[in-house]
Structure 1
Amino acid sequence: MTMAVSQFFIPALKGVAATFAGILLLANSSSAETQLSLFDLLKPGLLEAEGERTPLDPGYSAPYEKFSFHALVGTWWAKTVYDTAGTALWHGGEDGDRLVMRVGPFGKISTTHECNILQGNFGPAEEGAVALVSPYMSMTRMACWDDYPPSVSFERIARFEREGLELRFFDKDGLPIATYYNAHALKAALVDILQ
């Protein structure tokens, strides 16, 4: 019985995924040269004939054929978290705890507050300015009993600086909020050093 269900379910799931991929491709298509209908996208082998696309480096933003990624895309490891006066509260790597922020291609953010998950969206990042889109953040509501790193005050973020492996957030008065390292770029740099 389980085998029969999985034999039906997996092809059905692939079909649904192909349909959504086609819709996304049509929605992001800005080229007048290639006008494809959804029916054309469902033809077997059509997408494979298009050629292999260059894999994305999750640590850097860059224009990608049809759209640009958010300037903060990547996986970020917190180096320092500051209080509202700009004084360092916590430094990553000192006590074994870690604080990680993930920013998706379109600015979706996922991080933690104690043992809870925080999610929200950054607005456009233009000329070093960025802020959360309202509603600022949603959070799970679990009771947390252990000690955790302090939370980053995302609602205070007004601008950022990105230089090398570092991403620094500042409030409207120029006080630091948090400093992060790009986890993938840091890993690549360490692998290069250790070889």
Structure 2
Amino acid sequence: MSAEWMDPRQRRTRVRLHKVIHELATTMPLDSITMADIARAAEVKRDTVYRHAGSAVALLVQALEAEVEDLVVLTSQLPALSLTGESVFAGPEVSMFQHVAEHAEIYRNALSSEASGPIRDMLIEASARALTAHLQRHPDIAPLVNGRPATESERRMFVAFAAAGTFGAMREWLFAGDLTDLEAAAAATLAAAPEWWMGRG
């Protein structure tokens, strides 16, 4: 059910469910959270939870994706070149690491569980949506492939490579890095990215 089509009561219920799944996922492995746990904590009936999401994993993806979507929109509207000499992605990258740091225990618990796939996919797909929009806005930044313009399929490969790499860097940082130094984490990730993406003016 899209939030755009909800009445105010349904919207309040979804906000409450998102708050509850955040709280549960902070302290419990994702694959151990049941719909009954969510209903009990939110003080609603179990079928109310099911009307908003088909599983605890789906509800958590929904809650996190709602926050990440603002970063997708921001990234999809970037210019091709910055005016500062740093990458056009510097700000959004720091914001993404900030989002992960703010929910570090949720992401650690989720990505350590057997139910980690949808969380991983949500982060990769969000990054891919933003990069796809950026490449569509600025097609001239794409590199040549064997001396010729990249095909649409090859452009999708560029996006997939960058999105999966960003997730891998973020996951490594989440489990082993200094979560207080967001700028350093973003800089390390961008340093590993192909220069043609960077948009350093």
Report if TM-score (shorter chain) is over 0.5: no
TM-score by length of 2: 0.28
Q: Which has the higher strand share?
A: 1
Instruction: Name which structure has the greater RCO, CA cutoff 8 Å, separation 6+.
Output: 2
Q: Which has the larger radius of gyration?
A: 1
TM-score by length of 1: 0.28
Q: Which has the higher helix share?
A: 2
